[in-house]
Amino acid sequence: MSEFVQNLDHYHESPRLFPNKGYGAACRRATGSFVAYFNDDCEILPGWDRTAIDFMDANPQVGIGAIYFRDNNGPWNFQTFWQMCFGNFGVVRREAGEQVGWFDEREAFIPEYQRAECLRFYGNDVGLALKLIDAGWGSVPIPGCKVQHYREQDEERRENNAQFVNCEGGNIAGKVLWHIWNGDTKRQSREGPEYGKKQLQAKYEKFRHLIPASETWSG
């Protein structure tokens, strides 16, 4: 591929780092003002880059712009977590990413598992958005910026889902995110069981005007 793309830096993992650490390592090697991340099961559509740059330049308070996607031939949408937008596929402002240390590599002790877990596979995109929101940056969709997602349940994806989503005890990423942001028992006693979620949502309010009311939300 390097013969077709200038300034290509091929980053090979050995051993595999999983997305949260792998994406973070790749982002730190990138050199642009904005860093975009995608998966291997999507098709980037024409004009996405200029559309994203124009939007991010016009909205300097936005730390990450979520790219609209659709599964196969479904509706165009963006995803949310705790009623806040995150980038399943995203464009991150380098300044913001560097400020928060890119993707969330923290561990949280999960009582149901009696062990510490991190966002090894799923949830890394949510974790990044929450870190940026907590630091005062916006996480909103980029109008007109689209990527086609081909959701296929092949053997590898079934194995990943079995290991990280449909495992005993439930979705690992959801539990890790909850305990990272709401797991301080002393704060729970003072501020309630969802103190972190509520704090993030309060910070997010000033960015909701950037999301058209007619847009389709998912999740």
The whole-number pLDDT of residue 216 equals 52
pTM, rounded to two decimals: 0.90
Band of residue 148 on the pLDDT scale cut at 50, 70, 90: very high
- Block residue for tokens 């793309």: 5
pLDDT digits over 83-115, tens only? 999 999 999 999 999 999 999 999 999 888 888
Which of these ranges, 13-17, 60-64, 108-112, has the smallest mean pLDDT? Answer: 13-17
Are the beta carbons of 94 and 104 closer than 8 angstroms? no
pLDDT above 60 for 218: no
More confident residue, 78 or 215: 78
Percent of the chain scoring above 70 in pLDDT: 87
3-state class percentages of the chain: helix first, strand second, coil last, to nearest 5: 40, 25, 40
Kindly list the domain boundaries of the chain, sorted by start residue. 18-209
Most confident region among 48-57, 163-172, 208-217 by mean pLDDT: 48-57
pLDDT digits over 162-192, tens only? 666 656 667 889 999 999 999 998 999 999 9
CA–CA separation, 61 and 93 (whole Å): 10
CA–CA separation, 215 and 193 (whole Å): 31
pLDDT digits over 126-147, tens only? 999 999 999 999 999 999 999 9
User: Comparing C-alpha atoms, which of 156, 144, 153, 154 is closest to residue 212?
Assistant: 144
Band of residue 5 on the pLDDT scale cut at 50, 70, 90: low
User: Which two structure tokens, joined as six digits, stand for 39?
Assistant: 């998966």
The whole-number pLDDT of residue 150 equals 85
Cross-strand bridge partners of residue 34: 93
Write the class of the CATH domain 18-209.
alpha beta
